[in-house]
Amino acid sequence: MRLAVVVLLAAVSAPAQYDILIRNARVIDGTGNPWFHASVAVKDGRIAAIGRLEGATAARVIDAAGRVVTPGFIDVHTHVEGAIEKVPRADNFLLDGVTTIVTGNCGGSVQNVAGWFARLEELGVGVNVASLVGHNTVRRQVMGTENRRATAGELARMKELVHAAMQQGAVGFSTGLIYIPGAYAPTEEVVELAKSAAAYGGVYASHMRDEGAQILEAIHEAARVGEQAGMPVQISHFKIDTPRIWGFSEKSIQLVEEYRRRGVDVVVDQYPYDHSSTNLGITLPAWALAGGADALRERLSNPETRSRIAAEMEQRLKDLGHPDYSYATVAYYEKDHSWEGKNIAEITRLRGLEPSLANQIETIFHILLNGGAQMIYHSMSDIDIERILRYPNTAIASDGGVRVFGEGMPHPRSYGTNARVLAEYVRKRGVLTLEDAIRRMTSLPARTFGFRDRGLVREGFAADLLVFDPARVQDKATYTQPHQYSEGFDYVLVNGVVMVDNGKLAEARGGRILRHRPEPLLP
């Protein structure tokens, strides 16, 4: 009798084996393979065991009740600088199932990677954060926004800045070759700077020079940069953004495959929407933006130059296949928030003008001379979206940012990208299987960016995990009402910390800074 009591007391006082035990789950492990029944145990921020685990004990038990357990989603194309400092928990990403983000895309990053990482660690973040070093940022530091080739000394200085960022933990080098000043850089400059990142095993992530009529030339350039620098290539937000050639994705995908067959590791990412989002300045010819805001103001004050800019804008509209600028909607305009959610034609009317093309161009000049605006452009077709989504080497990425809830009229992709893929393209349309969709959100981006212990439900890997019912996941954000969180992600764990608990955000900070290797690779 005494022995039985001792054994009972020992059992009661024994510490739990695990921190968290997720029981009765259908595990989709991120490989693309079919789901399987299992329980998943977490200890010290890592996946400790996967299997039946009968008799296992834990400080916290979550009954999945037949819901799926997957790796947390990895969003490799975000822009969070300046916003994650305001919302360090990154609420909109967590409620869309995202546990890791890569920022510094499209050639734009922070200048001091180490300092920014230290600041985020001080704040505490809700998701894991990695960063690229941006070409536009580096070029602007050295050359400003001048429209010319770099001198040998300037190129050497830019290479030093890329090396420094990689030593501070950047995961690669990004370009935004439609933006200023990257648009002024020749391919040779991009290759040389990419080599500086390749020396550390970095990735080349490119917003290409063109995503429409010249897309094949742009793909050639992006792939050759990776080929010559000896590094993987991630082509950002792969799309056809020109109505005149909608359907051309068949040829653009074919070209990517040709480079893959010759040994260049090219993959792409995509957001599942037919609207894009970027600044208003891209509607102007690149030469008009050289030298910054003061130089643009001077050019527009010259009647001859102003007419030349307007004429080139009209010609570009024809080349794109748009009749006017009604396809362009203001998402954020600091000078007049009442214009947010309205297109350029509508704003032209609000200014008391007839919405002729000439007057719409004058409205664009007015906005740019008053600080510019963030825009949403209706520029893509469903046929290209579906074809690109079916391509096996397409990862899912939002091209979104951390959002202050209720501020501005942002693209809904910041809130609903992953839920939209699962609800619209898996559940409703059947474009992807659930297992393959999860692979595109997890192991595919993890492989590309070298996150060796994330992206899979595997013992020893970081416990970035989701628990959800695929039948209930739904994106809610729309273009007219973008500030709506996705629904259906019941539990979100980041490094073993429960960040979403039964559908509600938790007051926790489980995220970490994911620094790349600090030492260059051996030659």
Within 13 Å, how many C-alpha atoms sit on residue 508's CB side?
18
Q: Is the pLDDT of residue 280 over 80?
A: yes
Predicted local distance difference test score (pLDDT) of residue 13: 55
Q: Is the pLDDT of residue 68 over 50?
A: yes
Spatial distance between the Cα atoms of 326 and 274, rounded to a whole number of angstroms: 15
Spatial distance between the Cα atoms of 208 and 205, rounded to a whole number of angstroms: 9
Which of the four pLDDT bands, split at 50, 70 and 90, describes residue 517?
Answer: confident
DSSP state of 15: P
Provide the whole-model pTM: 0.92
Which of the four pLDDT bands, split at 50, 70 and 90, describes residue 8?
Answer: very low
Mean pLDDT of 231-236: 98
Which of the four pLDDT bands, split at 50, 70 and 90, describes residue 145?
Answer: very high
Mean pLDDT of 306-313: 97
Query: Which of 320, 321, 313 is closest to 360 using CA atoms?
Result: 313
Q: Is the pLDDT of residue 345 over 90?
A: yes
Which of the four pLDDT bands, split at 50, 70 and 90, describes residue 9?
Answer: very low
Q: Is the pLDDT of residue 177 over 60?
A: yes
Which of the four pLDDT bands, split at 50, 70 and 90, describes residue 185?
Answer: very high
Predicted local distance difference test score (pLDDT) of residue 518: 72
Q: Is the pLDDT of residue 2 over 60?
A: no
Q: Is the pLDDT of residue 163 over 80?
A: yes
Query: What is the rounded average pLDDT for all residues in the chain?
Result: 95
Tokens of 127: 């998701």
Three-state SS for 270? strand
Mean pLDDT of 342-368: 97
Q: Is the pLDDT of residue 124 over 90?
A: yes
Mean pLDDT of 339-368: 97
CB atoms within 10 A of CB 81: 18
Predicted local distance difference test score (pLDDT) of residue 15: 86
Q: Is the pLDDT of residue 164 over 70?
A: yes
Chain centroid to CA 474: 20
Which of the four pLDDT bands, split at 50, 70 and 90, describes residue 523?
Answer: low
Predicted local distance difference test score (pLDDT) of residue 520: 76
Spatial distance between the Cα atoms of 284 and 501, rounded to a whole number of angstroms: 47
Query: Tens digits of per-residue pLDDT, 449-479?
Result: 999 999 999 999 999 999 999 999 999 999 9
Q: If you count DSSP H runs as helices and E runs as strands, how many of each does the chain have, helices first? A: 16, 21
Chain centroid to CA 288: 28
Query: Which of 15, 1, 49 is closest to 463 using CA atoms?
Result: 49
Which of the four pLDDT bands, split at 50, 70 and 90, describes residue 354?
Answer: very high
Q: Is the pLDDT of residue 6 over 60?
A: no
Predicted local distance difference test score (pLDDT) of residue 275: 93
Query: Phi first, then psi: what are they for 68, rounded to 5°?
Result: -90, 150
CA distances from 45 to 116, 358, 453, 498, 512 (A): 24, 59, 12, 10, 11
Query: Tens digits of per-residue pLDDT, 412-442?
Result: 999 999 999 999 999 999 999 999 999 999 9
